[in-house]
Amino acid sequence: MLDVPWPGFTFEVLGVPVTVLSGGIISILVAGIALVALLVPAARRIEYIPKGAQNVLEGLVLFVRDTIARPALHEKAEQYLPFLCTVFVFVLALNLSGLLPLESISLFLGVNHEYRIGGTPTAIPTVGAALAALALFAILGNGLRRAAHRYHEEHPQVPMSACWAVSPVFWFLSLSPNVPGPIGKVVLLPMAILELVSALAKCVALMVRLCANMLAGHMLLAVLAMLALMSAEPMFRSSAEATYYGIPVVPVCIAGSVVLMLMEILVAGIQAFIFAIMTALFLGMYAEADH
């Protein structure tokens, strides 16, 4: 799926086109506003015995903690739990927003088709790249923070500002496996470079996995809808043969679309879970390597 920029909302910055508003951006804003409207009141309504929205929110947090954070980060799970909950809920909301008929509603209301809204934002490569970059920044930020504190613990006489200054080098070298003896000193730099490239490649894999899985289901739905329309169109003519072939095809396409829509709901949850748990695993591998 390619994003559709709104006319008049694309500008050039240093020769690079920058889109301010588009169908995908509007879908992201709708999902974000819906999350704030639903989750913030539930989080503020603190009761000893949770019920209603608070019960759902508590179950969601426990699900992320017990199935995503603790298996990947163990005793560090509580530290990263807010970030992982945010990632899981936000990716899930973006995945599910593609199942809402926002584009059909806008067309019904007479909105110009050039200002289309709707679609699945996570099927757009740039959105997937931004989410993967968020995971990468979390890995780098927490890795550098932990490297600075570890260096300060080993060299307490060094000021914390200087520890932060040397933290990139200290963290980069810590990526290499601990190989004893002179061989470890020889392979230290090559192994650290290999691990850094591996971390970048894993974040790219996050983007590809999410976009490809969300795009595939919607493409199949589009194919079924096109097949149903192509089969139904001759039925309005006077061709008996066309009607004979069109009558069984249309119900099959409609039934297949319903089944696929139900599967898309399942896929949306699975992909959000995979994205969150892979992010947690990468945090454990590169930001909390000895947890």
pLDDT at residue 88 is higher than 90: yes
Q: Phi and psi at residue 5, in whole multiples of 5°?
A: -65, 145
Per-residue pLDDT band for 67 (boundaries 50, 70, 90) equals: very high
* Count of H-run helices and E-run strands, the chain: 9, 2
Q: Is residue 18 part of a domain?
A: yes
- Structural domain of 50: 10-287
pLDDT at residue 84 is higher than 80: yes
Count of Cβ atoms closer than 10 Å to residue 79 Cβ: 14
Q: Give pLDDT, residue 228.
A: 67
Q: Is residue 53 part of a domain?
A: yes
Q: Give pLDDT, residue 110.
A: 60
Residue 176, helix vs strand vs coil: coil
How many domains, in total, are found in the chain?
Answer: 1
Q: What tens digit of pLDDT does each residue of 230-280 get?
A: 666 655 555 554 455 556 666 776 777 677 777 888 888 888 999 999 999
Please state, in angstroms and as integers, the Cα–Cα distance from residue 19 to each residue in 26, 120, 133, following that order.
12, 17, 18
Record the tokens describing residue 143, joined without a space: 């890795």
Q: What is the mean pLDDT of residues 88-102?
A: 84
Residue 15, helix vs strand vs coil: coil
Per-residue pLDDT band for 291 (boundaries 50, 70, 90) equals: very low
Q: Is residue 3 part of a domain?
A: no
Q: Is residue 5 part of a domain?
A: no
- Which residue spans within the chain are E strands per DSSP? 10-13, 16-19
Q: Is residue 192 part of a domain?
A: yes
CA atoms within 13 A on the CB side of 15: 0
Q: What tens digit of pLDDT does each residue of 190-233 get?
A: 888 988 888 888 888 888 888 888 877 767 766 766 766 666 66
Q: Is residue 24 part of a domain?
A: yes
Q: What is the mean pLDDT of residues 116-139?
A: 85
Q: What is the mean pLDDT of residues 153-160?
A: 85
Per-residue pLDDT band for 89 (boundaries 50, 70, 90) equals: very high
Q: Is residue 280 part of a domain?
A: yes
Q: Is residue 273 part of a domain?
A: yes
Residue type, 34: A
Question: Distance between CA atoms of 277 and 282, rounded to whole angstroms?
Answer: 9
pLDDT at residue 102 is higher than 70: no
Q: Give pLDDT, residue 234.
A: 57
Q: Give pLDDT, residue 250.
A: 67
**C-beta of residue 227 within 8 angstroms of C-beta of residue 255:** no
